[in-house]
Structure 1
Amino acid sequence: MALKAVHVSDVPSLDHLPDNNSFSLYSTGFSTGVDLSPAGSKSDEFVVIGHRGNGMNVLQSSDRRMRAVKENSIMSFNAAAKFPLDFVEFDVQVTKDGCPVIFHDDFILSAENGTVFEKRVTDLSLSEFLSYGPQKDTGEQGKPLLRKIKDGKILKWDVERDDPLCTLQDVFQKVEPTLGFNIELKFDDHIVYEEDYLVRVLQAVLKVVFEYAKDRPIIFSSFHPDAAKLVRKLQSTYPVYFLTNGGNELYYDLRRNSLEEALKLSLENGLHGIVSEVRAIFRNPGAVTKIKESNLSLITYGRLNNVPEAVYMQHLMGIEGVIVDLVEEITQAVSDMIQPSKVAEDEGITTEEKREGDSKPKFSQLELTFLLKLIPELIQI
């Protein structure tokens, strides 16, 4: 098997209730066992999810792929849909007038007469939010859109193919209908939210989802432990996953600081799976067995998911899917490297027998040798 590495030095890692009658509004039943593959999906067992659509924007990167198309846009989602992809992941926040919109950063930046203005997305009305960047009705340019990167520098949000900002309703109505949505419920890490606020935000999101989702596959996820708990309690139709970086960064809320805490939170609150930063999994591969034996699904995110070898090893470890930026390259690698039906046929094992088998990862000696050599190099990147 020939494997070709992808250079990733320019690709950063992914980011990042009282009982009442309203809870029954979205409770329409959810069967046990989470099947991530949409009906008629292009990938039978191993799921590939496009990060913010066709990949996140890294404005300072020398890799043009990271600036090819505006992230979290209808254009990016439909660009990703051209490849054998199962879901796109995107970030949802709710404006002060109650409209769910698609945007990753907590703050939106613009400039006027040389002065930079920074406003919190959730403090804007819908019309104010949509006034930034290209304008879909006139084709003109609205307020210039800037972005603050991790080192504090402020750059022009310059991409090869730009697109207007959009709402959650827009995305349901204008994106390829067979493409699944991984809806990340986005909250500021530095704010302690009151439960009433969280409920109000989540109900605004759920209202749009239940009105427009139809048969589209949906996954909810959040780094915010209480938001994950609440959206699970507010509805029982769609799977809810807890996002964690597994200890790569530490937070005041201890529930966010390890895979063990993520597993505990998920089990205690009836969540359906965990989305972990991939380095946490490679550093603690035994967690995969614990998660799978707990009947939870496991997906990963992070820059190592743009390396085909790392994706292949996760498939061997029993991980269900990956969130990636290099959609074209990784979907091709998955198609080339991961052929579960052929493996099962060669071994005389039916798909159902494979699913019912031992949850512990199994490796050939060659694969194990490859894994042991590869992982120390990967976690140093």
Structure 2
Amino acid sequence: MALKAVHVSDVPNLDQVPENASLALYSTRFSKGVDVGRSSFRIPKFLVIGHRGNGMNMLQSSDWRMKAVKENSILSFNTASKFAVDFIEFDVQVTKDDCPVIFHDNFILSEENGTVFEKRVTELSLSEFLCYGPQREPGKVGKSLVRKTKDGKILGWNVETDDSHCTLQEAFQKVNPSVGFNIELKFDDCVVYEQEHLIHVLQVILQVVFDQAKDRPVMFSSFQPDAALLVKKLQTTYPVFFLTNGGTEIYHDVRRNSLEEAIKLCTEGGLQGIVSEVKGIFRNPGAVTKIKESKLSLLTYGKLNNVPEAVYLQHLMGVEGVIVDLVQEITEAVAKMIKPTNEGKGERLLEGMEQIEVETKPQFSQRELSFLLKLIPELIQL
């Protein structure tokens, strides 16, 4: 089904959210030195963010690290927190009985006697959702979990260290409080959502965040343009980032198809920043300057972020943080390659070799860096 664009301007009485659900009166804050405010928002250091915790599960991969710990689980989140990670990123959906749960895929799959059963996560109750996979109660056996690859192959969801499913509330209660949460508001690309439904789902999630977050740093992100705009209107406490493929994939909704459209959406909607697929940045490095001139922050995600040299190059370009799967390796590499000076503590890290101390890293002159930025788009095939 084609994705239909539903514009926030069409939402009736959006600024008059029902009193019992309005969260806009909470004071503006973003812990650990990040100020929220369209004109003043700044990320004080180069961020490393753990993808789905300690990294996503790629069951078809020969790399054991991609199958070490169950993604989007309390265990994965706390495993990542043992390293110098600033945030963990995870996906939140809301069950049919209004409980925010953490799970990436739109559908959850189980196999019984050779038959695969598929159910939409948002059409399950909380108790039904928790019945899949490892169970917390001793002796209780949950439904088997399998996963479908992009090419349609069904694989057992087998990891070295498994864990049970969890709710958003449990994550706040059980994960190391020093680690920030990058909460991706997860919606299905193939579903046209009613405006009232989006508002309801976001209010349910926001209620848990405000009840549980305390001093934990939190940011929101979403590929769904209207969800990103709505969550910004529904609260003024936490920064909101728009997720984009940066033109690496094409969608019916034009707002998702380029970094230029992402900039437009963020500036018009008052969002704080963009999270782009890293290939989108490397193919269009000039967009980084436009993003910074628009006073937006920029983070990236993607497989290239598991390569230390690619992360370092992004730092030189002005990218302010990366979402990674290999948390231990990249946090260690960043600690060696990118060290902020004592001056200007709390300010945005500046571009250029003179503002950072580095160790065991490539050395680029400005001329060489300019050459690399021109060459990279040619190396990364469209």
> Structures share a fold, TM > 0.5?
yes
Written as runs of structure 1 = structure 2, the 5 A alignment for 1:118-157 is 118-138=118-138, 140-157=140-157
Secondary structure, counterpart of 1:351 in structure 2: coil
Q: Which TM-score applies when normalising by structure 1?
A: 0.87
Which range moved further: 27-36 or 250-259?
A: 27-36
Deviation per CA, 1:26-54: give whole Å up to 9, x if none: 332434223445xxxxxxx1000000000
Report the CA distance shift for 1:352/1:180 in structure 2 as closer, same or farther (over 3 A).
Answer: closer
Secondary structure, counterpart of 1:91 in structure 2: strand
Report the CA distance shift for 1:353/1:208 in structure 2 as closer, same or farther (over 3 A).
Answer: closer
- Distance, in Å, in 1 between the alignment partners of 2:366 and 2:198 is 49
Written as runs of structure 1 = structure 2, the 5 A alignment for 1:332-351 is 332-341=332-341, 350-351=343-344
- Distance, in Å, in 1 between the alignment partners of 2:368 and 2:180 is 32
- Distance, in Å, in 1 between the alignment partners of 2:310 and 2:260 is 22
Deviation per CA, 1:182-208: give whole Å up to 9, x if none: 000000000010000001100110010
Give the C-alpha shift of residue 353 in structure 1: 11
- Distance, in Å, in 1 between the alignment partners of 2:161 and 2:63 is 15
Secondary structure, counterpart of 2:166 in structure 1: coil
Report the CA distance shift for 1:267/1:372 in structure 2 as closer, same or farther (over 3 A).
Answer: closer
Matched, 1:92 2:92: yes
- Distance, in Å, in 2 between the alignment partners of 1:370 and 1:317 is 12
Report the CA distance shift for 1:356/1:155 in structure 2 as closer, same or farther (over 3 A).
Answer: closer
- Distance, in Å, in 2 between the alignment partners of 1:353 and 1:235 is 24
- Distance, in Å, in 1 between the alignment partners of 2:261 and 2:109 is 35
Report the CA distance shift for 1:303/1:156 in structure 2 as closer, same or farther (over 3 A).
Answer: same
Letter in 2 for 1:224: Q
Written as runs of structure 1 = structure 2, the 5 A alignment for 1:58-69 is 58-69=58-69
Written as runs of structure 1 = structure 2, the 5 A alignment for 1:4-15 is none
Give the C-alpha shift of residue 368 in structure 1: 1.1
The residue that corresponds to 2:298 in the other structure is 298
Give the C-alpha shift of residue 139 in structure 1: 5.4
Secondary structure, counterpart of 1:110 in structure 2: strand
- Distance, in Å, in 1 between the alignment partners of 2:127 and 2:373 is 53
Give the C-alpha shift of residue 25 in structure 1: 2.7
- Distance, in Å, in 1 between the alignment partners of 2:379 and 2:23 is 46
Alpha-carbon contact 2:130-2:166 (below 8 Å) kept: yes
Alpha-carbon contact 1:28-1:235 (below 8 Å) kept: yes
Report the CA distance shift for 1:177/1:75 in structure 2 as closer, same or farther (over 3 A).
Answer: same
Identity over the aligned pairs, expressed in percent? 69
Deviation per CA, 1:77-130: give whole Å up to 9, x if none: 000000000000000000000000000000000012221100000000000000
Letter in 1 for 2:16: N
Deviation per CA, 1:245-288: give whole Å up to 9, x if none: 01111000000000000000000010000000011111111111
Deviation per CA, 1:345-369: give whole Å up to 9, x if none: 7xxxx3269749789x997336516
Matched, 1:175 2:175: yes
- Distance, in Å, in 2 between the alignment partners of 1:101 and 1:258 is 30
Give the C-alpha shift of residue 136 in structure 1: 1.1
- Distance, in Å, in 2 between the alignment partners of 1:326 and 1:177 is 21
Written as runs of structure 1 = structure 2, the 5 A alignment for 1:237-252 is 237-252=237-252
- Distance, in Å, in 2 between the alignment partners of 1:288 and 1:223 is 19
Q: Which TM-score applies when normalising by structure 2?
A: 0.87
The residue that corresponds to 1:28 in the other structure is 26
- Distance, in Å, in 1 between the alignment partners of 2:371 and 2:141 is 51
Matched, 1:194 2:187: no
Alpha-carbon contact 1:313-1:371 (below 8 Å) kept: no
Q: Structure 1: 5+ residue runs without aligned partners?
A: 1-16, 38-44
Count residues with an aligned counterpart: 350
Alpha-carbon contact 1:276-1:300 (below 8 Å) kept: yes
Give 4+ residue runs of structure 1 displaced > 4 Å after superposition.
352-359
